[in-house]
Amino acid sequence: SQQGEEDPQALSIQEGENATMNCSYKTSINNLQWYRQNSGRGLVHLILIRSNEREKHSGRLRVTLDTSKKSSSLLITASRAADTASYFCAPARSNDYKLSFGAGTTVTVRA
């Protein structure tokens, strides 16, 4: 498995604003997943995007994937206090059953 690197390390925004974070990886992949972790909790699966997809939406989340640049972005629109969490990406090949996580992006949404 390979590890993604999230950027920025931390992000502080006002409620209602959008939050964008990026993930870069090194080798070719078949899919990339984004997870959220609230403080002191396990990870919650947010979205999976496959290598043949460029963009995917789920509610207020928008994920893009650029395989030529080996990068992905996660956009949270109209942020809420409940979006305060750490966000992790997990790039993987189809035969990777294990996941590796980077340091994540810690998002703080201020009321």
Partner 1 sequence: GAVVSQHPSWVICKSGTSVKIECRSLDFQATTMFWYRQFPKQSLMLMATSNEGSKATYEQGVEKDKFLINHASLTLSTLTVTSAHPEDSSFYICSAGSTPGLAVNEQFFGPGTRLTVL
Q: Which residues bind partner 1 (CB under 8 A)?
A: 1, 30-31, 33, 35, 40-45, 48, 50, 88, 90, 92, 94-104
Nearer CB in complex with partner 1: 76/89: 89
Nearer CB in complex with partner 1: 15/51: 51
Half-sphere exposure of 50 (CA within 13 A, CB side): 3
Nearest-approach distance from CB 33 to partner 1, in angstroms: 7
- Give CA–CA dist 21/27, Å, rounded: 20
Nearest-approach distance from CB 46 to partner 1, in angstroms: 11
- Give CA–CA dist 90/35, Å, rounded: 8
Nearest-approach distance from CB 16 to partner 1, in angstroms: 27
The CA–CA distances, whole Å, from 91 to 15, 33, 60, 80 equal 29, 6, 21, 26
